[in-house]
Each structure stands twice: as C-alpha cells, then as structure tokens.
Amino acid sequence: MALSCNNTLFPKPFFTSCSSQTQGTHFSNLPQPTKQDPIFKIKGPSTLSGHITISGSKNASLPLLAATLCCSGTSLLHNLPNVSDIQAMASILSSLGAKVDAFDGKMRVNSDGVGKVEVDLEEMKKIRGGFFVIGPLVARFGEAVVALPGGCNIGKRPVDLHLRGLRALGAVVELRDGKVWARAANGRGLVGGKFRLDYPSVGATETLMMAASMADGTTMLSNVAKEPEVVDLARFLTDCGAWIEGAGSDNLIIRGKRQLYGSECVIKPDRIETGTFMLAAAITRSCILLSPVIPSRVSCLIDKLSQAGCKISRLDQQTLQICNLKQWHFSLHALVPAWWRSPCLTTV
C-alpha cells in the first residue's frame, strides 16, 4: 500500500476564494467535511512510500485565532490546517461580531466589529478550543460569558487553572448554568498580578498570556508551559505590540498594553502530525519523505527512532527522510510511551 500525497488522503487547505463585502465568516465555497464511519479498517502488513506534506499546527492555530480578538484592525494567519476545529473557531469569532474571511489557506480576521461577549452555546459544544476566547474578551472588553468546554473526546481536562489565573488578574469569575461568567472587578479592565500554575498547562498558560497582554500593569506567571505553541503565541502577541518576556521558559513576565494591533503570522508545521508519520514509517519498516517540518520540534522522537534503528536524514532545511529497513533494537511498546511523555510533544 503506497502512501501518497493525494487530495483524498491529504487534502489541500480547505480555504477558497471568499467574498469580503459583508460581515461575518464566508464559507460558501468551502467543501464541507464528509461524515465517515468512526472505525478505521487497516489491512496489513504493508509498507509505505512517497512524500507527505505536513499541515499547519492545529494546536497553534486555535489560540492564535482567539488572540486576534485582542487586536484592533486586521490580522492575517497563513497555513491553517484543514480540520473542522478551525471552521468551528472561525464561526465562534464571527458569532461575536468579528469579520472573518478565508481564502487560499489563509484567514483574515478583523475584530473591530465585535459587539457581544457571550459565545453561542451550540458553537462552544463543537470545540474545546473555543474556551480560549475568554481571556481576550475579558482583557479587551471587560467581560465574557463562555460555556464550559466541549468538543473533546480525550477525557476530563478541567479549566480551573484558567479561572483561578483570571481571578489573580482582577476578574470576578462565577459558574452558573454550565457557563463561566467573568468580568473585571474594577469595571474597567484586568490588572497585573502574580499567579503560579499548579502544573504547566498549555491551555491555561496561553489563556492567561492573552489576558495579561492587555492588563493594566505587570503580570508574573510561573510554572508555565514551555511548548512551541506557547512560544508561537507569544511571538504573535509581541508582533501585535505586547511585551512578553520568558516564552519557552518556566516563567513569563508580561507588561500589559492598552491596545494591540493586528499582525500577520505563518502557522508552523504540526509537530504531532510529523511525529505520527515518522512512527508510521518506523513500524511498517518503510521509507518516506516529510515536509515542511521543524526538526528541532521533534528532536526527542528523532533521537528515539535513531536509537531504535531508523535512519533519519535531513535533506534540506525543512525536509526529513525516515527509513526503517531493519528490525528494531527494542520494542515499540517501550518507545511510544516515552515519546508521549516527552516535553517535545506533550500538550495539556
């Protein structure tokens, strides 16, 4: 069975030319995902071959889309992945009043027209990542009403750190009727503060980073997540005018700004998708090419697979060749848990 990059297995970005004349999200020309059986039937053994184009990172895209709510003017995001979560987040932004245009693998967002701070319940049910908007809404508009997260089958992933962190920044936070009601206690906006996360949650770190970027004063966050997606968000916010120091370390120092402005960014390749296909080549004793990739973001997996007998070559700045044509030196059972425990690939 050959693994080729065709439009059926690996579709091009779903964004097509869209009208920008009217308010809201314009998805009239977008092919809608087709419903499939929730079971994959795989017949093996077989080997894989060919080249795979790695999509932009979903875990980076969602907080970046939410961060556009912090900004006056227009933001432009490139290389968004073809997944339903992106459409769901665009719908959430549009339902709040933002103007969202999708075209050629890009998304343009202007949040100047945001006129409400309560996210539609049905929209929130579709996607856990929609909860990211609570930080920007409270920071910029002084209040937010967001349903508790849905759309995730991984298991229970509480948002208590997000809420406690917002309280540390001067928000009054209440839970009523399955929704989070948050507002600035002083009636104006959030204020700088100190907060230590119980554990380095990526979602809480990103939510609080967005909130603190517009808080009045300096915020110090400790025991924060260090994942690449956190660094990508910090870089985007900085390009928008925020002052953030320490991204990629255990501690963040953020000096709030009264106003941020839209910027432009390119979503980095998805490191989890990259790692998944690297493992696919390894376990089927195959040889495949992957691009674009950022090798430093999968360095832990490269080391482990190399130890297991795979030959991994860097053909250019963003192309990896993964070949495994021999028996493994140790079991996949021992390898996979080590990969998922690695900070290079773990996301909370």
Active-site annotation, residues: 152
Long-range contacts of 323-326 (CB under 8 A, 24+ apart): 323/281, 323/286, 323/287, 324/281, 324/282, 324/283, 324/284, 324/285, 324/286, 324/287, 325/285, 325/287, 326/285
What is the bridge-based pairing of β-strands 218-222 and 251-255? antiparallel
**CB within 8 A of 311, min separation 6: which ones?**
321, 322, 323, 324, 325
Strand stretches in the chain, DSSP E: 25-26, 49-53, 71-72, 74-78, 99-103, 106-110, 143-147, 171-176, 179-184, 194-196, 218-222, 243-245, 251-255, 260-261, 264-266, 287-291, 311-316, 319-323
Number of other CB atoms surrounding residue 23 within 10 Å: 12
97 token code pair: 């009043």
What is the bridge-based pairing of β-strands 71-72 and 99-103? unpaired
The tally of CA atoms less than 13 A away on the side-chain side of residue 92 is 35
